Amino acid sequence: MNTLNSIIISSNLQKKLIQIALTSLPFESCALLFGSISKNIITVRFVEQMENTKQSSIEFNMDPDELFKKYQDLSYPNFNIVGIFHSHPGPPIPSSTDIMYMKINPIPWVIYSTTSNELKSFLLDEQLSDISIKNKFVE
């Protein structure tokens, strides 16, 4: 059962995610969100853009070897991968393909719509849940 309350993404990091999405057009963009979890709240500390190896406007894929390296990377000893970001050319809701991969990566998925300029977050636990995005200053 989902006990995650919210995900904190500062306005600067939200702007960075939007910039990643817009500069990746006409393709979907993707990035990893690094941060920490405390008291059922995720705080995103930084974002690392990843290459969409599909080069597609309707789906994305991260290179599995690169993704594995990021999960194993010891450069960030106090941070973990706490979310996956990507953009959609339509509403910011998970596609059936997203849901398939959310089962493998059970962390929040943050989706930005390049058409409606909305940013939303979801987690697939026993069911798909909308996770509130908070905009707070992060030290």
Global pTM value = 0.91
Q: What CA–CA distance (Å, rounded) separates 61 from 97?
A: 10
Helix ranges (DSSP H) in 1-73 = 11-24, 64-72
Model confidence over 18-66: pLDDT tens digits? 999 999 999 999 999 999 998 889 999 999 999 999 999 999 999 989 9
Model confidence over 53-84: pLDDT tens digits? 999 999 999 998 998 888 887 666 788 899 99
